Structure 1
Amino acid sequence: MAKKSYYLGHEEKARIEIIPMIDVMMFLLVFFVLIMIEMIQGAGITLDLPQSSSQDPIESVTLNIGVSAEGAMYVDGKPVDDQQLSSRLAEMKDTGKLDVVIAGDRGSHYDSIVHAMDLVRGAGVSAIGLATQK
């Protein structure tokens, strides 16, 4: 028969230590939040962003547009053409303030990025940012 442990006349009961479990759950939460932030920045596609020494973070990004090295435009990881992008921008502009970030690949042509900026400005959006990495 197992011997029970007594401390000052009281029987010691088995306990579940919850503090280490909370530490592990916080670590997992922070890990997944950081991973999601990195995924959102690139508009769902793999881009090699150019570097910049003077960059300011944009707090409220509503729409990310990715421009690949071939000049194709992507929104939410899905390829879009000029008409689809213009109509989506018009719909989102009607809902309120719209901030747009254009993430151009390092190998993309300058005219592809300017073309994306023209489409955004043509939809009436003046808050445009360019994504870079440190």
Structure 2
Amino acid sequence: MPIQLSGNSSGDDHGDEARIEVVPLIDIMFFLLASFMMVSLSMTQLNRVPINLPEASTGVADTKAPPFQIAVDPNGVITWDSKIITLSEITTRLQKEAAPSETRVLISADAESRHKVVLDVLNAVRAAGIEKVSFESKATKP
């Protein structure tokens, strides 16, 4: 039964019925959805260690994000999800969390990092049985 807005409660008068406008509610929901999407997109790279990537002219862009990303800074400190980690912890963690046949790992090393540290990280990843390993670089400027 619709709500009567007039003072007459006898039911004779068919005055204005109260109703909820749906179009403004839909507009508000789309605005909130768009706002949350923009905020979530801006937060995607916040948990990353700042490193200076080396340039590569023959690199191929990879559109799929790897599930595991390991970074090496110029001082040789190895981080995973912005937490410092050791080489043995890399192997142990990958063995626990990853399926060796389909897991991909991305190693992001600073241009000034030592080659030996990067190879040690690669060996730790391979010791866990992971074969799909990529190195992050930035494109050469024309």
2:117 to 98, 112, 118: 112
- The answer on whether the counterparts of 2:100 and 2:128 sit within 8 Å (CA) in structure 1 is no
Cα distance in 1 between the residues matched to 2:28 and 2:56: 40
Written as runs of structure 1 = structure 2, the 5 A alignment for 1:1-134 is 15=21, 17-39=24-46, 44-53=48-57, 54-59=59-64, 61-94=66-99, 97-134=102-139
Q: Deviations over 1:20-79 (max 9, x none)?
A: 423422332332332233236xxx322222344533225251211111110111111111
Cα distance in 2 between the residues matched to 1:31 and 1:89: 32
Q: CA deviation at 1:131?
A: 1.8
Query: SS at 2:42's partner residue?
Result: helix
Amino acid at match of 1:103: S
Structure with greater helix percent: 1
Query: How many residues of Structure 1 are paired with residues of Structure 2 in the alignment?
Result: 124
RMSD (CA atoms): 3.0
For the pair shown, which has the larger CA radius of gyration, 1 or 2?
2
Query: SS at 2:44's partner residue?
Result: helix
Structure 2 residues not aligned, in runs of 5+: 1-14
Query: Structure 1 pair 88/58, CA: closer, same or farther in 2 (3 Å)?
Result: farther
Cα distance in 2 between the residues matched to 1:12 and 1:51: 68
Cα distance in 2 between the residues matched to 1:128 and 1:90: 15
Query: Deviating runs (4+, > 3 A) in structure 1?
Result: 10-16, 51-54, 93-96
Q: Give TM-score scaled by structure 1 length.
A: 0.71
